[in-house]
Structure 1
């Protein structure tokens, strides 16, 4: 079992479903660390759909900002699925927190974990160039984040059309 697995892909590519499959196949206690927030009805519907897709047997921790704290608190309790890093990054942007410092902290925490961690992220750089300055900064930060997480990950998978392609490990 890989200690750190990064699962990336585009929107609705099947990455979350694939990551959930990795967690279930481990046979370990399953902990879902959710970074999304139900700030509107559409997002509430998405969160509900994810819960239904996962099914029973998961401990869910909702943590939009303190991802490192959630990982530290749950280490040793089972395999953790973080869904997703790009929402976490977005939350940091909205809260006007230093995303680069938080990412550096996350990299250290990931490398000290005893229990496996599966991280889901979005590949956002393959689309159109955002019109706003913040959109471009977010896109760039997302690309940097994904590269830095991939460097420390034992396995990196790209999921497209529901099919995983191993990029590392």
Structure 2
């Protein structure tokens, strides 16, 4: 096991973040790898995406589907896993919003996630979308989602050992800083 036990991988859509997160987890363990899926596939296109992700992972990954109580799943899975990959936090936020959670409710769920990460006895790699680079959404639910994603990403980034941002398929480490004194990350 590595000294780095909790990693957040951020990026936009099709940025390579999930692929990098899976490779990172694969490098941490040869077996007993658990993929914690937060997606609730509700249409054919999303079911196709889920199937593609499953095929990409291969048979050495066990999948646990949990859209809401990911903290409990991390606690349980750490007893049997050598690494857990959580994909993804932004879908988890969507699920919480659709359950009627407001900012306080979502932040309470993040508290539970942080506690689970602190208790984790195996490495945990988390994936999340960086959605704040785009235009301001036109409707209040989309703005609420964007704002919650930004707040959750900030909280989780503080709680983990390492943060990677993937842009155009290039992963760049932003935490801990590269040590150049200028706050610039380094390509990995």
User: TM > 0.5 between the two?
Assistant: yes
Structure 1 residue ranges (4+ consecutive) displaced by more than 4 angstroms after TM superposition: none
For 2:157, the equivalent position in structure 1 comes to 150
Deviations for 1:46-77, whole angstroms, at most 9, x for unmatched residues? 10111111122001000011101110111132
For 1:33, the equivalent position in structure 2 comes to 36
For 2:181, the equivalent position in structure 1 comes to none
For 1:137, the equivalent position in structure 2 comes to 144
For 2:66, the equivalent position in structure 1 comes to 63
User: Any stretches of 5+ residues in structure 2 without a counterpart?
Assistant: 177-188
Alpha-carbon distance in structure 1 between the residues aligned to 2:67 and 2:106 = 13
TM-score by length of 2: 0.87
TM-score by length of 1: 0.97
Alpha-carbon distance in structure 2 between the residues aligned to 1:123 and 1:115 = 25
For 1:24, the equivalent position in structure 2 comes to 26
Q: Over aligned residue pairs, what C-alpha RMSD do you find? A: 0.9
Larger radius of gyration between Structure 1 and Structure 2: 2
Deviations for 1:115-138, whole angstroms, at most 9, x for unmatched residues? 110000000000111111111111
Number of matched pairs: 169
For 1:96, the equivalent position in structure 2 comes to 100
Higher relative contact order (CA 8 A, sep 6+): 1
